Structures are given as structure tokens and as C-alpha cells.
Structure 1
Amino acid sequence: MPIDIDRFEEGTGEELRSGGRTNAEEILAFLATHPDQAYTPKEIHEATAVARGSIGVVLSRLEDRDLVRHRGEYWAISDDVDVDKTLTAMATARAATDRLGAEDPDEWGPGADDAEDQE
């Protein structure tokens, strides 16, 4: 759904997310509402409105975290996922990043922890 250009120009990152969720959260929530079914990436795209080109990457990342599983072209929620807890953790991490900014891995250089410990 298109948005007004003023909202586009002046909106915060949170406001510009569809429903305030990330693609991973959208896909995970969708699959969790249908734990007894498996879907193709195209079906997931149509149900969630996550960009078609993003579906595969997001599903692979969720699989790496053991949150989803797949066989052939079909994907489903993992059996042992506490979806509410996972979505809450994802939303909390997103909110902290939005508020505090992302950590800069360059600040983690050799000895970064040592310098902190000496203070």
C-alpha cells in the first residue's frame, strides 16, 4: 500500500515499517498461525506482502536459527518454537536498536574490552 510522500520524507524507521514488524517477524508470525501447514515462498509472499525477493533470504536466516524448517519448496514453522517469546524478543531488540542505534563492531577491536576493564 502506498504512503503519502510527507510521511515518507518525515517518518521514522518504525513508522515506515508495514505494521511495525520486520520481514522476519511477519513471516514467522504468519507461519506460526498455521502450524499444521507448509507454504511455498510465493504463498508466503502473497500472505504477508513481504517483498518476493526478500522471502528466500529471510526464510534461510530463520532456518539458521531453527525457527522454521523446509522440505523441497515448502516451509513451515519449527515444532519446538515458542513464537510469542521469539517475536517479543525480536521486537525488543528492534526497539532497542531504533532507540539506541546499532552497535559498531569496529569498536570491538583487539583490546577494546581490556581498555574498559582498566577504567
Structure 2
Amino acid sequence: MSIDRETFDAASEGELADLSTPERVLGFLAAHADRAFEASEIASRTDLDPGAVSTALSRLKERGLVEHKATYWAVIDDPDRLESYSGYEHATALFDDQLGEEDSDAWREHAPDESHPTENA
């Protein structure tokens, strides 16, 4: 997985090395919480081994941190549960550094008033 130069310069070697495969996978999914991905795409976009990604996804699912439908994976929509996962804070901090911190007020302003029809099925 690539990181921007600012993150590279600001982070210690330990901070960059300490991010485990599950943390990287969860961080990627959290950074793209509005999407679901196939395991192969997660592996490709995070530069991780596909087998390691599949194992990480299974473990994250067992912990109730990701959801799985057909061949797609997505982060859960439960901020409290995510924040209780010890690796989540570390992963999201690195992704916030790369992508910018989420502005929840701006998100709510653009969020739909009604749920998506597939959520009612």
C-alpha cells in the first residue's frame, strides 16, 4: 500500500511498521465506508497478499467489524463497535493523515433522508 509523502515524513518507522494486515484491511474499508469490495480488489488496492486479505476479512467478520454478502465485503456501520477495536484507531489515524479527516457534519448534510431501497429488503 502506498502512502503520501507527508505521512511518510511525519510517521515514525514503528508507526508505519506496526499496522497489521487486519488493521490495513479495516482501515481501507473504513476509508471507503460507502462502498463494498471483493477481497481481490482489497488486496490489489492495499498491496497485500490475497490470501492474507481473505484471512484478515474472515477474522474481522468473526469480530463483527465487517459484513460479507456474496463476494463483497464492507465495514460495519457502527462507529462505537469500530472504535472498540484496538487496531481501528491506529489504522484510521494513518488513513486520516493520507485522505483527510471525515467531516461528519458535511456528510450528514449530503446524506439521503430516506434509506436505500435495498436496505428495506
Structure 1 unaligned regions, length at least 5? 2-14, 93-119
Q: Which has the higher contact order (CA 8 A, sep 6+)?
A: 2
TM-align CA RMSD:
2.9
Distance in 1 separating the partners of 2:32 and 2:51: 22
Is 1:90 equivalent to 2:87 in the alignment? yes
Task: Select 1:69's aligned residue among 63, 67, 70.
Answer: 67
For these two proteins, the number of residue pairs brought into alignment is: 79
Other-structure match for 2:56 = 58
Once the two structures are TM-superposed, the CA of residue 81 in structure 1 deviates from its matched residue by: 3.7
Distance in 2 separating the partners of 1:76 and 1:51: 18
What letter matches 1:61 in structure 2? R
The answer to whether the 8 A contact 1:40-1:73 is kept is: yes
What letter matches 1:74 in structure 2? Y
Once the two structures are TM-superposed, the CA of residue 29 in structure 1 deviates from its matched residue by: 0.3
> Which of these two proteins has the greater Rg computed from alpha carbons?
1
TM-score (norm. length: structure 2): 0.55
The answer to whether the 8 A contact 1:62-1:68 is kept is: yes
Structure 2 unaligned regions, length at least 5? 2-12, 90-121
- 3-state DSSP class of the match of 1:21? coil
